[in-house]
Amino acid sequence: MPHRPMGKRDTAGADTALEDRQEPTAADAHDARVGEILRSWRSGKGLTLRQAAARAGVAIGTVSQIERGLTSPSLRVLRELCAAIDLPMERLFEKPETTSDEIVVRAHERRILTLGEKRMRKELLTQKAGSGLQGMIVVVEPGGSSGDDPYTHDGEEIGHVLKGTLEITIGTTTYLLGPGDTFCFESPRPHKFRNPGRTETEVLWVVSQPFY
């Protein structure tokens, strides 16, 4: 049998193979939408899948799955990936057909980000660009979470549980909150959250430096 010489690995071809796999029709529509935005922006920046993954410190296979809508990124990974490709996170939100002014935001005019597999939805309550505050309604379905790994960012945050149960870990301490309970902490402290209950959790969440 003839011996095939060992050549240099074609990393560009590997990147292309990862990018060109057909997306399954059963992919969650929300995750597919977020993935397509990330992929389109990355390509527009002239970055390969491998380059974006390296910049974000995320496995290339994970980035590939996110871009194809096969999985939802955790908030930590989403933030790092957007930073790696210089994508403003606010572009991930679905925008209503009509928008209000910077003072009043009608309920039907909220910009919404849904992470399907993470079972979480964020509705922005503020519109003003450059504001030092950002308010959100965070809705977490049973079993939904921000991800397994804690994340950090600048500023401070305060939250008020409107309904359901919220488990939030700040540093090394985990708290279980119910309707009417409130939390407040500095955002550089590692934190994560999830809904351990059987019903939907809804939280009024405000950060002193916009996350999106």
> Per-residue confidence of the chain (212 residues) as pLDDT tens digits?
444 444 444 455 555 555 555 544 334 899 999 999 999 999 999 999 999 999 999 999 999 999 999 999 999 999 999 999 999 998 999 987 766 677 888 898 899 999 998 999 999 998 877 788 999 999 999 999 999 999 999 999 999 999 999 999 999 999 999 999 999 999 999 999 999 999 999 999 999 988 88
In the beta sheet, which residues pair with residue 155?
none
* Per-residue DSSP letter, 26: T
pTM above 0.85, yes or no: no
Q: Where are the domains of the chain?
A: 11-91, 93-207
- What would the CATH number be for the domain defined by 93-207? 2.60.120.10
pLDDT at 9: 46
Report the top-level CATH class of 11-91. Answer: mainly alpha
pLDDT at 131: 82
Query: How far is residue 11's CA from residue 203's CA, in Å, rounded to a whole number?
Result: 44
Query: How far is residue 71's CA from residue 161's CA, in Å, rounded to a whole number?
Result: 27
φ, ψ for residue 166, nearest 5 deg: -125, 130
> Same CATH topology for 11-91 and 93-207?
no
pLDDT at 127: 82
